[in-house]
Each structure stands twice: as C-alpha cells, then as structure tokens.
Chain A
Amino acid sequence: MGFAFHRPENLDAAIAMAREHGEAARFLAGGTDLIIQINRRRLAPQHLISLAGLGLDTIAETESGYAIGAMATHDAVVTHPGFQKQLVALTEASAVIGGRQVRNIATVGGNIVNASPAADLVPVLLTLDATVELRGSAGTRSLPLDRFLVERGRTERRPDEILTAVRFDKPPAHSATAFLKAGRRKAMEISVICVAAHLVSGGKARIAIGAAASRTLRVPHAEASVEKGGPAAFAEAGRLAAEQATPIDDVRASARYRKLLVATLVERALERCAARIEGAGR
C-alpha cells in the first residue's frame, strides 16, 4: 500500500519521473478514483507523481474554442461562465459526478484517462469532437478523443505521457447540447446509462452514450438518421442507438433495461437540444 509521493516542479520533470519509474509509477490528478483503487488493493503503484501546481488547471478560451486543462476540477467546469449556454451539457455532466466534495477535487483529465465506460463528461466531449493533448518524452501530440479511448480502463496514452488538456471548438450559432443520466437515485450515482447530444440546426448531429458498451460510444447510425430526418427522426435515432449499444447486466441494472434507457434518453436529449435551439432563437 505504501508509495513515494513526488511533486515535480514542471511538466518535463514529471515526464522524466514517469520514465524513470515506468510501470511502478502513476500520475496523480485529483485522486478520487486512483486513491480508492489503491485502498481496495486493485492497484499498487510505488510512486505517485502529483500533477498539481503544473499550471494544468486553467480553462482557456480562444477565439475558436476552449482548452480545458486536465487538472481543471469538475466544479470549475460547472461554474465556468462560457459553458452556460450552448455548451451547457458540459455543466450538466460535470454537475452529476459524485457529490460536491468529489467535484471540488476530481479533474476533467482524470475522468478521461480513467476511461470508465460510465464516465459522465466523456460523452459530452465526444459530441463536441474534442481532441486531447498529450505530452511525453517523445514530445507533444494531439488526437481525437474518440481515438484516444480504447476500452474500459485503456487509452492510447503512453505510460510517460501526461494528458495536459482537452480542446474543442466553439459550437456554431443555432446549436445546442444536452446531457442526461439515469441512475437508481437522484444523486451520488455512477451512471446506469448516460447520453450526450449535440445538435446543429440543419447541420450535424452528434450523439454519445455512456455505460452502454465497453467504452463510451459515438453512435454514427443514429447521428446520420437525425442529420437526414430532423425532429421526426429523434425516436428512430434512439432506437438505432439502442441497437448499437452492448450494455451488460450488473448489480446496477440489466442489459435490457439499459437498452430501453438508451433509446429513451437519446430521444429526449435530442428533443432537449431542439428545444434549446428554438428557445435561443426567440
């Protein structure tokens, strides 16, 4: 259970530490997942490399988009002034991760790198065509979030790479986002199913579902049907999304119920987007 705790002074030092200790080291973001896994004896790193104090916690706005630093907390996302309108799904998702106490420490980067299929923020980021920025000993690179996620607990991150930021473009006018989550109670839930949608009026549709497969899924068939068919196609999109989902039976819910939830929540998330577009247009 014991480990050494390292506080690198800059990113290069952090990367060098990771290289030095290899598999025996883990980066520490908020720790709300990592520490629990260590306490449950599922992980036993010998070195923790803290990513605090490396300037990774800001949320930066550029002319074309946003860069959320990997160490930005969920609380920072919930309260960010730029995320209250068209990007409101970011706040809707961040606001239901654990309780406030968790959101004050847990980070966006942690939510992504953990690669839990039930991660709440990941579906929203996928619908925004987000890219992740990684920095390691081989340099800096970016790749689409959709490619970064491999399956439960696995990403394309190399052991000495740090996820430094997630970036996405500002959505166009006449667009909206929505996020919906289902659980057995109304707070403190790991999603039984979660759904994110991003709709551009007369344009693209993006739908992502969580806790419905071995990783967070985009559902291209459903998206295509919406892009072709408009509001009449929302129910059909739900049905197609449910078809693509491969949920499991577990103590939280059955696969059958999860499919039902996917179909309904996708339809509702799309309806909400449409209503938001209409509401903003007035």
Chain B
Amino acid sequence: MTRASLDLTINGETHQLMVEPHWSLLQVLRGELGMTGTKENCLEAECGVCTVLLDGKAVNSCILLAEQARGRSIVTIEGLGDPEHLHPLQAAFIEHGAVQCGYCIPGMILTAKSFLDERHGRVPNEAEVREALSGTLCRCTGYQKIVDAVIAAARQMNSWPEQARRSS
C-alpha cells in the first residue's frame, strides 16, 4: 500500500505525515508521532482509553481513520495542561483521588472535557456525569471519585472560566 500525505492538526500544531489510508488516528498518534499519552486497549471502541477530542468532541481514535481527521482539529491529553499549569479537570482528578493505575485517565479526562465544554458552564449532576462518561471503562476506581472530580472541576471551571480557557 502506498502512503499518502496527510496534515493533521494536533494540539494546535500541524504535523505533515505520510500515512497509509487504513491507519487509525491512534496508530498515527502513538506509532508515528510517539504521542503515547493516548492509550490503546480493545481497539474496537468498547473501552474509551483511546479517546481524543475531534473538533472538541470526544471520539474513539482506535476506529477513526487518520484520514477522517484531515482538516479537523485534534486535541490529545498532551494538549490539555502541563505539570505547572494543570487543567482544572487534571487538578481535580488528583485532588479527589480519582487516579489509580491511570491508564484510563487521559481518555476519561478528555471525555469529561468534551462533556463539560458542551454544557457551557452548567454544572452537571451525578447521573448526568455517569451517563456522559459511560463510554470509558475504569477497572481500578469503581468510578466514584472520578464522578466527584468531574463535578468539582465543573464548579471550578464555572467560577473561573478564564483559568480553564488558559490551560485548555
């Protein structure tokens, strides 16, 4: 199979790549770009650890062809915050003990971000958080502290939208 050129905009930067058409976005992120913050597991959209944002919405990168991301904006966990300026979601996950092994966490945080962003500041209740994040599995935590962290982050983002915008 011949490779075709594909420009992908990831975390605000454009990468000029040569990809085979059947490569998934996940393969390109991890294999071609070495961006291993996005994780791999089931490879069939059942577990959510591969979640990235595509034009701001959470998607499973394992079954999305890299080609399908052409001309769209991709955000991975690497583009969210950094150790000195954590996004409120990242800070809340640590604060509330929502991180154990951490393997689902990048996908979980991005799923949560997509959900909170589309609510434009309205703080969700527990049932709403559980429904929105149910596409990402966690085997360590039983989910409870993740739910608490998301609601806490929503409250923080609601009161300090400026800070949230800076670190997103």
Contact = CB atoms under 8 A, between A and B. Distances in A.
Interface residues of A, number: 29
Contact of B21 (A48, A104, A187): A48
10 contacts: A7-B67, A36-B63, A48-B21, A99-B48, A101-B48, A104-B59, A105-B60, A105-B64, A187-B131, A188-B137
A187 B133 CA distance: 10
Contacts of B70: 7
A24 interface: no
Interface of B: 1, 4, 20-22, 24, 43-46, 48, 51, 54, 57-60, 63-65, 67-68, 70, 111, 114-115, 131-137
Interface string A18-54: 0000000000100110011011100000001010100
A54 to B, nearest CB: 14
A35 B111 contact: no
A188 B132 CA distance: 11
A188 B135 contact: yes
B17 to A, nearest CB: 14
Contacts of A161: none
A230 interface: no
Nearest to A105: B59
Contact of B65 (A1, A35, A99, A187): A35
B22 to A, nearest CB: 5
Given A35-B63, A105-B59, A100 B22 contact: no
Given A52-B68, A100-B115, A100-B135, A5 B63 contact: no
A2 interface: yes
A19 B57 CA distance: 34
A101 B114 CA distance: 10
A75 B54 CA distance: 14
A32 B21 contact: no
Contact of A3 (B22, B44, B59): B22
A2 B51 CA distance: 24
A92 B132 CA distance: 14
Contact of B59 (A1, A2, A40, A101): A101
B135 A187 contact: yes
